[in-house]
Amino acid sequence: MSMKQIHEDARGKIYQLKFGDREFLILETKKGFRRGGDYHKTWQFDVVLSGEVLFTYIDIHRNPKISTNVKKLQGEKVVFFPNEPHMLTALTDCLVLEWLEGPFEKQYYEPFKKLIKCEA
């Protein structure tokens, strides 16, 4: 197992954790900042390790024109379908563990990414 910091900006830090052939990210995010604004070909799993997080996503199966918000607390998880655009907003300083079902790849969802770009 190995862990290293791979990114840092005004929002906080991102760490990459490798365990065998699996890759996990730990997102350290300061209160009020957003991350994500993307979607993936495979399922994505997020677990809030500490703090409170608002996850915003587009439910491509039920209503692809409206964004949905769900608040998660320490110990709670959220799962995103393949190709489901999503982002998070830190309601408090927080740590989130994130991983994909398959290899890491992403595409940006511009309506969400625009909100995040103005913060970084």
- By CB neighbour count within 10 A (0-12 exposed, 13-18 middle, 19+ buried), where does 36 fall? buried
- What is the per-residue pLDDT for 119? 62
Q: Tell me: pLDDT of 33 over 60.
A: yes
Please give the model's pTM, rounded to 2 decimal places: 0.93
Structure confidence at residue 66 as a pLDDT band (50, 70, 90): confident
Instruction: Please count the other Cβ atoms lying within 10 Å of the Cβ belonging to residue 30.
Output: 14
CATH of domain 2-117: 2.60.120.10
The whole-chain average pLDDT of the chain stands at: 94
Q: What is the pLDDT of residue 65?
A: 83
| pLDDT, position 27 | 98
Structure confidence at residue 120 (pLDDT): 54
